[in-house]
Chains A and B, each alone.
Chain A
Amino acid sequence: MRFQLIGVNHKSAPLEVRERLAIPESRLPDTCRDLTAYPGIEEGMVISTCNRVEIVTHTTNGSADLRGFLHDHFHLTAAELDSHLYEFREKEAVRHLFRVASSLDSMVVGEAQILGQVKEAYATARAVGAVRGQLDQLFSRAFAVAKRVRSETAVGSSSVSIASVAVELAKKIFGTLQGKNVFIVGAGKMSELAARHLMAHGCASIFVANRTYDRAIGLAQKFNGQAIKFEDLYSTCDRADIVITSTGAPHAIFRREHGEQFLARRKNRPMFFIDIAVPRDVSPEMAKLDGIFTYDIDDLQQAVSSHVADRRKEAELAEAIITSEVERFEARLHTLDVVPTIVSLQDHLETIRQAEIDRVRGRLGQLTPEQEIAVEALTRGIINKVMHTPITTLKSAARESEATTVVDVVRRLFNLHDKVTTPPDKKDEVGTRQ
């Protein structure tokens, strides 16, 4: 088990740092390829969401220089980055990944979105061949654990999502949402969800602007809303009381001067910006204006955290599941580690037995079928009796950390040749999985 994981999340790093590490979806495959080409890394994948960037790898010797990879890839110095990073190895890496997939490490504990995001990242990495045997096993297990946590605890129920927090905040500003207009900038799933919540609370109409006009039309139709051309964004935005923005723009698209224009046209009626984009769409300068209320993804987390207490108990239950699952996974992996040894040990002894019987048969001459059976039973019996203790020892050692040592000793004692089962080559499967 040579898993290594490095990353930043909403707790370890401020938005400013996460902004610099965020990898757009289009560049994920390349990043995965770069990762697997990096020295010491056999398999690797990248999870990049607005709250986290995680690099999960299976390495050749368990100590690949993942920090080095990040520095090179993002052109960041150790001073800028290292204090925000966390790094886990082996068991702890497995635990962390399980927690992430089960949404225990999420900003909103229990939200369902992260699992989908991890699955997408997995599919991307698999499509480019960056994920094969080991990570494959790890992630399949992680998905199963996430499912178990969801079904056995109430962590995911009555989910306090970003969306419902946004509604609550909007009510703090506007009182009632009746008759308020919503503007979605950048058609994404999260903004769609937030819009759906707002509409359910009485918002009157919806505008959608997107770089790709067709997507704007598509989303607008879902809400009986109105699609706006992106170039008309600034001239129409002031019609909305609530703006949900989540574009992939590298720089803020709402700057101070825009805010001043909006307020002037609105006679200073307040506007609420829900900025779920990373990097942020609303400049901090604009957020300072009187009458403009901006909550970015970190602020939403703070608001959310007040609700989290209710779920702490369920989360504890979920943590217990994770712990037992990590152990199970570890045990299974180790068992897998010793299985080839047991098999080659059995093969080895079987070869000896056959050779000895053949050698002796010449001297004994023709045997009756009864004698044949007796010899067979005798030799097998001896071997099984002798083998019994080493095999049980191997199997039980598999669950301990000493597995590798025991395996080594057995191999040396019996002079077993390396017959490590290489993971089946999956290249022929490339691209077949969605």
Chain B
Amino acid sequence: MSLLWLRFALGCYFISLIYAFVALTRTSDLFSRIALHAASLGMVFHFVSLVELFLSGQVVWASVHNGESLLAFLSMTFFMVIYAIYKTTSPGVVVFPVVFFLTFVAAVDEQPVLLTQFVSHKGWLVAHIILIFTGYAALVLSFGASLLYLLQERRLKAKKASSLISFLPALEVIDQIGYRSLLLGFPFMTLGLLTGSVVAVTTYGHVDFLDPKILLSVLMWAVYMVMVFTRWNSGWRGRRAAFLATFAFVAALAAWAANYFSTIHRFAAS
């Protein structure tokens, strides 16, 4: 059943996805409202799907696809929070495609298998998953914001008359969205890694730092920290910040992909 709801959600996200592409070329108030409603409705279905999953008795989130579904939902939540504060749908340009992709992959087929049978402290595992994914979602937003910042900066620099009526919010607003997501995401990511270590230690007795998953996760965390630091210390933004954010994002993707190579952090294969 949860998969069915997820597919409903996917349909709604599809409408948002179209918005993401159209918004790049022209501004339409009506369309952004439609996209917003579609996204909200999608979130409702998505939420139902996640709740059903949870109620199904086992914590199956640790399956790759359920993880993706959760990440999509959290990213969408972030997007909505930003909309509530800044009244802008523009981060959707980046968030919607990511969410759609994640939901799409998650909704393709059922995947109940999990690799949690050895885990002794399920509570730590749940905490780990939620914290890490919140961190990921914040990273997606911050990555999106840095791309939008670049875009808006270009438009302002190119002095296009159309920049006056663009769909993008003011440069400083984009900057704030990015910075706040970054600041919010960092503690989640840090705590997520810590709880992960706890799970690893309690399960295997030690943390294997040479494992690709762990290595990449630590790398991602380091880049994340550099981003927060350079931003806090010298106010890096624009091109340099976008470069770092892209690097962090790629590191995050690599860390995710490492699930397939890791000996200790492997999800059950489908």
Contacts and interface: CB of A to CB of B under 8 A. Distances in A.
Given A175-B170, A270-B172, A306 B235 contact: no
A302 interface: yes
Interface string B228-246: 0000001111111000000
B156 A291 contact: no
A174 B174 CA distance: 10
Give chain A's interface residue range (CB within 8 Å of chain B): 20 to 34
Contact of A305 (B153, B161, B173, B239): B161
A239 to B, nearest CB: 15
Interface string A277-307: 0000000000000110101000100110110
Given A175-B169, A175-B170, A268 B234 contact: yes
Given A268-B236, A303-B161, A306-B162, A293 B172 contact: no
B54 to A, nearest CB: 39
A305 B164 CA distance: 11
Nearest to B163: A172
B234 A267 contact: yes
A247 B207 CA distance: 65
Nearest to A264: B234
A290 B161 contact: no
Give chain B's interface residue range (CB within 8 Å of chain A): 20 to 34
Given A268-B236, A270-B172, A290 B159 contact: no
Contact of A290 (B162, B169, B170, B238): B238
A172 B171 contact: yes
A173 interface: yes
Interface in B165-184: 165, 169-173
A302 to B, nearest CB: 5
Contacts of A427: none
Contacts of B165: 306
Contacts of A305: 161
Contacts of B238: 268, 290-291
Nearest to A301: B161
Given A270-B172, A303-B164, A305-B161, A172 B235 contact: no
Most B C-beta atoms less than 10 A away, residue of A168, A171, A172, A269? A172
A426 interface: no
A175 B164 contact: no
A279 to B, nearest CB: 19
Interface string A172-192: 111110000000000000000
A306 B164 contact: yes
B128 to A, nearest CB: 35
Nearest to A305: B161
A267 B236 CA distance: 8
Given A173-B171, A306-B164, A290 B235 contact: no
B235 A269 contact: yes
Contact of B170 (A173, A268, A291, A302): A173
6 contacts: A174-B170, A175-B172, A267-B235, A290-B153, A302-B161, A306-B165
Given A168-B164, A306-B161, 9 more contacts: A172-B170, A173-B172, A174-B171, A175-B169, A175-B171, A268-B235, A269-B235, A270-B171, A290-B153
Interface of B: 152-153, 156-157, 159-165, 169-173, 234-240
Interface of A: 168-169, 171-176, 264, 266-270, 290-291, 293, 295, 299, 302-303, 305-306
